[in-house]
Amino acid sequence: MNPLCDNTAFADPMSLPFAEMVSKSQNIVLTCHVNADGDALGSTLGFRKVLINMGKQATVVTPDLAPTSFAWMKGYKSLICYERQQPEADKIIEAADLIVMMDYNDLGRVKTLGEKISSLSTPRVLIDHHLDPVVNADVMVSRPDASATCQIIYRLLIAAGLSQYVDQEAVTNFYAGIVTDTGGLSYNSSDPNLYILVAEMLKMGVDKTFVHEKIFNNKSVKQIKLQGYSLGRKFHRVEKYPIALISLSKEELDRFNYTTGDTEGFVNIPLQVRDIIVSCLILERPDCVKMSFRSKGEFPVNEYAAKYFSGGGHLNAAGGSFHGSFDDAVALYQKSIADFYVRWMKRTAK
């Protein structure tokens, strides 16, 4: 059979319960994780547009301010920030008859918004691709094999028979999420079915060049200068190991007039060195030291992040945080990543 003729690219066993839940809800709140990225915003804003096209009320509530680098996304101006607009957001959430949790699977990933969600008995739908969910929902669509949450929601909408409500605006946001989480279809994107979806999206009018420009070539001069400084002065190797590190203190970030999102993508760059397999970006933020990890091949940075930095994520992309001094965070990383690497090498007999 011609693989383009079967429907596995769009199949999901949860499409029926998902369709039923959407059909009986009229007032829907969509939420995503802190420091929203292209997948978090693409999936929520895209689904919001579909729900509005269906004649429903839908609002996206983000835990903190969504980076302005995504201001080009249609619907960005409609975002409600829980941290800054709590009274208004509380009213909207209390009035909702459905809460959708997208691109996260742990209420710890949504700051104080998580407390609000837990306090209510409103039905919930989870749509996510992170491993090992620790939150419950009435409809759970947890698909760790998927490249992006945007891939899952698009698949669900088509399988649920709602394709007539998926317009060019929604699908552009969904495509942006896929591009974000796969580095422009470079990693975590080997499933042939993904390309059937992408082909459909392009047929529906997604401007691929526009989306790639907005995701990858949308930086400010100060971001490029901070990147140059980070690579030239702050990029180090951890001793003799195939492990890299970039650390930026508050003083350094202030010097480059840092705002959230300015270091997006920095953590991936050391992996361009042929024998580096693990990379880490350490940022001294006001509330904690933020850790970002990336790896190549089978090295499990999610396991490492969970073990040492109360974090998690995917096999090759994870994050966590450290509550202590910046110098202690750097020292803990250098020591623990070397230990973890040695033990991982023994375990996998490489």
Residues near ligand 5GP (CB under 6 A) are 33, 106, 109, 292, 311-314, 317-321
Whole-angstrom distance, CA of residue 177 vs CA of residue 83: 24
Contact pattern from residue 80 through residue 119 relative to Mn ion, giving x for each residue in contact according to CB under 5 A and a dash for the rest = -----------------------x----------------
Whole-angstrom distance, CA of residue 119 vs CA of residue 107: 12
Nearer to ligand 5GP, 59 or 302 (CB): 302
Nearer to ligand 5GP, 73 or 282 (CB): 282
Structural element, H or E, at residue 189: none
Whole-angstrom distance, CA of residue 217 vs CA of residue 229: 19
Q: Which of the residues 20 through 49 are near Mn ion (CB under 5 A)?
A: 39
Residue 67 binding partner per list ligand 5GP, Mn ion, none, with a CB distance cut-off of 5 to 8 Å that depends on partner kind:
none
**Least separation, in Å, of the C-beta of 294 and ligand 5GP?**
7
Residue 39 binding partner per list Mn ion, ligand 5GP, none, with a CB distance cut-off of 5 to 8 Å that depends on partner kind:
Mn ion
Q: Which two tokens stand for residue 29?
A: 């709140």
Whole-angstrom distance, CA of residue 34 vs CA of residue 27: 23
Q: Which two tokens stand for residue 68?
A: 């302005």
Residues 301/318, Cβ–Cβ less than 8 Å: yes
Residue 321 binding partner per list ligand 5GP, Mn ion, none, with a CB distance cut-off of 5 to 8 Å that depends on partner kind:
ligand 5GP
Residues 38/166, Cβ–Cβ less than 8 Å: no
Looking at the DSSP assignment, which residues form a beta bridge with residue 235?
A: 246
**264 binding Mn ion? (CB under 5 A):** no
**284 binding Mn ion? (CB under 5 A):** no
Distances (CA, A) of 63 to 30, 67, 110: 11, 12, 5
Whole-angstrom distance, CA of residue 241 vs CA of residue 273: 13
Contact pattern from residue 135 through residue 174 relative to Mn ion, giving x for each residue in contact according to CB under 5 A and a dash for the rest = --------------x-------------------------
Closest-CA residue to 92 (of 101, 103, 81): 81
**Least separation, in Å, of the C-beta of 319 and ligand 5GP?**
2
The correct pick among 169, 181, 262, 264 for binding Mn ion (CB under 5 A) is: 181
**Least separation, in Å, of the C-beta of 129 and Mn ion?**
6
**Least separation, in Å, of the C-beta of 149 and Mn ion?**
5
The SS3 assignment for 318 reads strand
Q: Which residue, judged by CB position, is nearest to Mn ion in the bound state?
A: 39
Residues that bind Mn ion (CB under 5 A): 39, 103, 149, 181
